[in-house]
Amino acid sequence: MVSCAIALGSNLGDSLNILEDSLQRLTADRNISLTSLSNWYRTRPIGPPQPDYFNGCAILEVKSLTPHQLLATLLGVENQFGRVRDRFWGPRTLDLDLLLYGDLILNSPSLEIPHPRMRERAFVLVPLASIAPDWIEPVTKLSIAQLLERVDISGVRLI
């Protein structure tokens, strides 16, 4: 079993229900169990003008799935909820990002772990710190709580 952290986001459709339902679909996979879920936060979008996002993070216990297989599972769930990738940083029904896979550091053409921008994103660090403040990000060797101290959290509001 490997502990993994994922970020969840949505700003199109019935976002809160989409986020909850996506977790149910993920945990229907016998190789994935949910161990912790943050509260949901309303956050300002990055990129083109669009509605605010609803974001959160979850800790999963994963067995028998490589990082690439877990990513494929996340992308499959996104597709089930109508995810369309037509604009960079555009609005979306569902966004599932693999943030951390144990203490693995991986740089491949299709996957980078830890997520390369998680360290600068308050909409990731705020919810992640609420459920895994002591998790050490393996590149910087800083805890999630320490990384959170380095970002502006003014655009992140607890729902």
For 68-80, the pLDDT digits (tens) are 999 999 999 999 8
Query: DSSP alpha helices (H): ranges in the chain?
Result: 15-27, 67-80, 122-131, 144-148
Low-confidence stretches of the chain (pLDDT < 50) are none
| Per-residue pLDDT at 91 | 85
User: What type of residue sits at position 6?
Assistant: I
**106-130 core/surface letters (b: 16 or more CB in 10 A; e: else):** eeeeebebbbeebbebbbbbbbbbb
Active site residues: 83, 92, 95, 97
For tokens 């799935």, the residue is 65
| Per-residue pLDDT at 86 | 64
pLDDT in tens, 32-53: 999 999 999 999 998 888 999 9
Domain positions in the chain are 2-158
For tokens 């390369």, the residue is 116
* CATH class of the domain comprising 2-158: alpha beta
According to DSSP, the residues that pair with 137 across neighbouring strands are 142
Is the previous residue joined to 45 through a cis bond, with omega within 30 degrees of 0? no
